[in-house]
Structure 1
């Protein structure tokens, strides 16, 4: 997924690191360390050398209970740093909730506006509309000084997701291009540590929104709670581990204090694999319950996929019924798509998948014919090749409605490893018309 930030464009299928540069006296872990412009610029250059593609400059602390500063004071703190980094050709983000500061920063050459208040201020929406900057839309209740006063949620994941959907829709309605938007669930902002952990373990739900997702666990209180680390400065290794987990779940941008430690952790990120599963022969089903039998077989196969070595299932689409394709004289199918992180090479993975098919009685006597279970590798990140045994991406992904619909449910706007958008073929031209069960 692409994230457009002014003249910079980032492919977030490979995590983009945003280095944190606080030029404040009171930030929770590094307040005062880089208040002098010379020290701030030197630290930014160090982070860029370590792998930061974006430098996020903040002039107001947003830690819980932080006292607000005036826009004039905030701009006075960050102006010399923003201008110096822009002059050095860096992609500069400004971490602010004040429209006046954001407008000044964009005019000075900043490429990203990172608003912890989620662009609730109409004046901030106008800054977004009038610029071409990338936008980070974050979830937070209230203001930094009061955000921990209201942490009551019925379902923190769905409520944060829905809030972000509404804010992004408002930006798009105002004329902001969707490819400029990134969403941030706001770990620790108006949430207890337990709520934040639940939210961060379900980041794939935010991926369904169709925007790049930012992970910002760095030195946060929930990391201290989860790993029993009281001192924020001692949380960098744990924060890096959280960043890796978030990226496995689909985050494409990581905001961090310790760029070197984070980059080292992200080197272990496994590529993603998309699998298509289908069934139209139920081994055990009472009359009238054939669909339930087919679903049971697919669920059994998913259970076996959970046991594959060096692999983790990240997300599973809904079940879709479909008309048979290519060979029409057979029963309707039940289908879904599974998203995994996987360290197994493609050909070896294919062998495992054939074993799963065989365990459920797969018979290959008629091409495109009836089958108890079919598992196809649809797309494997970074792999684009063709042999007699295996072609990646699957050559028929985009023409099959029963693949396209469940795939785009979990990865909207997905682009295959060969550069083909999954939704490239109009629905009217696809085979195997599919419907959600």
Structure 2
């Protein structure tokens, strides 16, 4: 997936670091450090040298309880900095919730509008429609002066996700391309520390929306509460670990103050592997060969995947019941797709999958015939191979409904390692129907439900 921001295009398969430059006297972590033209420019240059791909310039503090400043004051603080950085060839983001400021900064060269109010203002949406800048749509209840009094949620992940979907739909209805949009769940904005932590442990749910996803944990209070660190400036290492976690869950834009710490953490970033699962013969008596038995079989396989070394389950689709493909005279299948972050090399991963299949009674006597468990590597991030042992991406993935449909469910904007887009897939074998989530959804490990 690509994120298009004016003349800049970012490949979302790899983390994109957005460095923060606050030209304000009162930001929560670095207020006053860079609120002069020369210091702001030098700090931005330092961030870029250290590896930041984007510089996010903000002229108004939006910390909890912050008082608003006039648009005139905000422009005085940031417009010259934005113009100078853009003239140096940097990708500049303007962090503002005011249409007048956004319009002026885009005219000065800003390539991204980062709106903490989620483009609620119709005039801000008009600015977005009139330019080709990238857009960051964030969730926040109320405004900075009131947001921490509005932390009542029934299901915070679902409510924030649905809010962002609604905001993005409004932008797209105005003709704004999906590829320009990035969503930010807004940890710390109208959320308690526990609520922010829950959002950040479930970022894969926002990947389901099909937009670029931002992870913005840097120095925030939930990081302090989670790791027991009182001072914001002391939270950089912990923030970097949160950014790594977010990136592995599917966030592609990391908004961070300390680029060095973030780069160090990202050395642990593991490739994404997509594995498809199928079963049409369960290891039970013939009387119990129904859907539930096949689901139970696949749940055992998923449990085994969770136990692989240096591997984390990121996401899992619902289970799907599908018609047999290629060999039709056999029972219907139950299928699913899972996404893993793994340090296991592709060919070694294949050996592990074969071992799991064997442990669940897989017998290879008939090509495309009945099986107790079938595990296929569909894609392995940035890895392409074509030989007798392993062909990646899987050559038949895009012709199979039982692969395409569940993969679209969890990663609708997925792009295979060879550049083929899932959106362009035209399946023709193995028609599949999703089973209801209540009866057939894999429950993620407890760690993802914190």
Bin the TM-score by the shorter chain: over 0.9
Partner of 2:48: 48
In structure 1, the residue corresponding to 2:9 is in which secondary structure? strand
The 1-side partners of 2:186 and 2:289 are apart by 44
Stretches of structure 2 that go unaligned for 5 or more consecutive residues are 436-450
What is the CA-CA distance between 1:46 and the residue it aligns to?
0.4
Q: Deviations over 1:345-382 (max 9, x none)?
A: 01111111001000111010000110000000000001
In structure 2, the residue corresponding to 1:250 is in which secondary structure? coil
The 1-side partners of 2:98 and 2:391 are apart by 51
TM-score computed with the length of structure 1 as normaliser: 0.98
Matched-pair contact (CA < 8 Å) for 1:285–1:292: no
Partner of 1:412: 412
Partner of 2:442: none
Matched-pair contact (CA < 8 Å) for 1:404–1:423: no
Partner of 2:343: 343
The 1-side partners of 2:400 and 2:182 are apart by 30
The 1-side partners of 2:221 and 2:422 are apart by 39
In structure 2, the residue corresponding to 1:136 is in which secondary structure? strand
In structure 2, the residue corresponding to 1:171 is in which secondary structure? helix
Partner of 2:128: 128
Alignment of 1:368-383 (within 5 A): 368-383=368-383
Matched-pair contact (CA < 8 Å) for 2:214–2:251: yes
2:433 is aligned, of 419, 432, 435, to 435
What is the CA-CA distance between 1:424 and the residue it aligns to?
2.2
Partner of 2:150: 150
What is the CA-CA distance between 1:289 and the residue it aligns to?
5.2
The 2-side partners of 1:399 and 1:289 are apart by 27
Q: Deviations over 1:392-425 (max 9, x none)?
A: 1111110111100001100002110000112323
The 2-side partners of 1:359 and 1:289 are apart by 19
Partner of 1:395: 395
The 2-side partners of 1:68 and 1:285 are apart by 68
Q: Deviations over 1:102-140 (max 9, x none)?
A: 000001110000000000000000000000000000000
TM-score computed with the length of structure 2 as normaliser: 0.96
In structure 2, the residue corresponding to 1:419 is in which secondary structure? coil
Partner of 1:161: 161
Alignment of 1:3-14 (within 5 A): 3-14=3-14
Partner of 2:386: 386
Matched-pair contact (CA < 8 Å) for 2:96–2:115: yes
Of stretches 284-293 and 366-375 in structure 1, the one that deviates more from structure 2 is 284-293
The 2-side partners of 1:180 and 1:210 are apart by 12
The 2-side partners of 1:210 and 1:258 are apart by 28
The 2-side partners of 1:219 and 1:352 are apart by 39
Stretches of structure 1 that go unaligned for 5 or more consecutive residues are none
In structure 2, the residue corresponding to 1:182 is in which secondary structure? strand
Alignment of 1:103-252 (within 5 A): 103-252=103-252
In structure 1, the residue corresponding to 2:398 is in which secondary structure? coil
Matched-pair contact (CA < 8 Å) for 1:398–1:423: no
Matched-pair contact (CA < 8 Å) for 1:318–1:436: yes
The 1-side partners of 2:298 and 2:109 are apart by 52
In structure 1, the residue corresponding to 2:397 is in which secondary structure? coil
Partner of 1:357: 357
The 1-side partners of 2:297 and 2:374 are apart by 10
Matched-pair contact (CA < 8 Å) for 2:412–2:423: no
What is the CA-CA distance between 1:228 and the residue it aligns to?
0.6
